[in-house]
Structure 1
């Protein structure tokens, strides 16, 4: 963790702003705008890019992926423009939590993959790029979105240490643990051999 240089009220402010930024449910906004099925009623019931893809629209899936990542990066970059590094990391974690538990959807959100990647790109872009590459490679090899996400999340902490950034390790580990928790049903299906591949419905 970085030194605590910011006043408590500043940290609270960035926690709220980060959460609100991360809580925008782009998957739902995009599908409604494009006249597609509500992603909460199909597949896994998730509002993330993988489930939006199950509406049959690659454009909607890609847009959801990009915007969910962007909101994580925006929260981090905005905090960095105006506050110290401790506030940046608070905003980063809050944005990730906001995506997973958005107040607008009764705290039922996505699993955080795209927002996690966006947050890392905003925090330390080399770590973000390596984590994105890990995710893409794992998905390409396995054709299972959840496997790619879990491998990328776990290895992200290793990339932080390898690149000499232990100061972000606490935030990275907290996000990783939350992502694992959000994927607990996927993990159960992986153990049972019933986890769907990309393009398939659960």
Structure 2
């Protein structure tokens, strides 16, 4: 069991490490690590290269989470699914292919949650959309999305028994990771220096 779960985590990490933001930007002659915020994620790609490129990166990152969890579930069930999800988020955040740099992990987390905890994901998405529509801050929406995950998972576990205890712990760990990855954004939000998303491309 331990070896199987470890294999799922490793596969998840390698899948998560696939940096579609870097590769898609490179195909357009752009080094995304040196443009915009320098973050190899969908939001920065959208700012730099436009909506189509950004949405493509988001979809592919989302798919990484789905595939990593699906493989884990197929190999060893729920423990493998959780290990695959954690591995994918870590891989996306610290990719072996780009010298352990990476994105914030939100899209990958959403893909993983679609397979593991769809109700928790749906609740988080509602919070993300409302926050973004009101504030126009992607970072704030992502932080509140992350915080909502363990809260929703715990409620589903305690009241309806729809989510297992390991999944609650997983949600909490992922929330911590996403918030930590957004620490610089959080500082800028507090200082009133965070940039709102306008949807305009710089090219």
In structure 2, the CA distance between the partners of 1:169 and 1:66, relative to structure 1 (3 Å rule), is same
Partner of 1:178: 177
Question: Residue 22 of structure 1 is aligned with which of 13, 16, 35?
Answer: 16
Give the number of aligned pairs: 194
* Contact 1:93-1:175 at 8 Å conserved across structures: yes
The SS at the match of 1:46 is: coil
Q: Paired residue for 2:87?
A: 94
> 1:14-163 residue pairs with structure 2 within 5 A?
14-33=8-27, 35-163=28-156
Whether the 8 Å CA contact 1:127–1:159 is kept in 2: the answer is: yes
Partner of 2:160: none
Shift of 1:84: 2.1
1:139-195 CA distance string (max 9 Å, x none): 111100000000010011122123231420111111111111111110111111000
Check conservation: 2:123, 2:148, Cα contact below 8 A. Answer: no
C-alpha distance in 1 between matches for 2:4 and 2:49: 43
Counterparts of 1:119 and 1:133 in 2: how far apart (Å)? 17
Tell me which of 13, 37, 44 is aligned to 2:7. 13
- Which SS does the other structure have where 2:48 is aligned? coil
Equivalent position SS for 2:73: helix
Deviation at 1:29, TM superposition (A): 1.5
TM-score (norm 2): 0.90
Contiguous gaps of at least 5 residues in structure 2: 158-162
CA contact (8 A) 1:36 1:55 kept: no
> How far, CA to CA, are the matches of 1:140 and 1:196 in structure 2?
14
Runs of 4+ in 1 over 3 A off after TM superposition: none
* TM-score, with length taken from structure 1: 0.91
- Taking the aligned partners of 1:179 and 1:140, their CA distance within structure 2 comes to 20
Cα root mean square deviation, aligned? 1.5
Q: 1:41 Cα deviation (Å)?
A: 1.0
Residue 26 of structure 2 contacts residue 32 of structure 2 at CA under 8 Å; is this kept in 1?
no
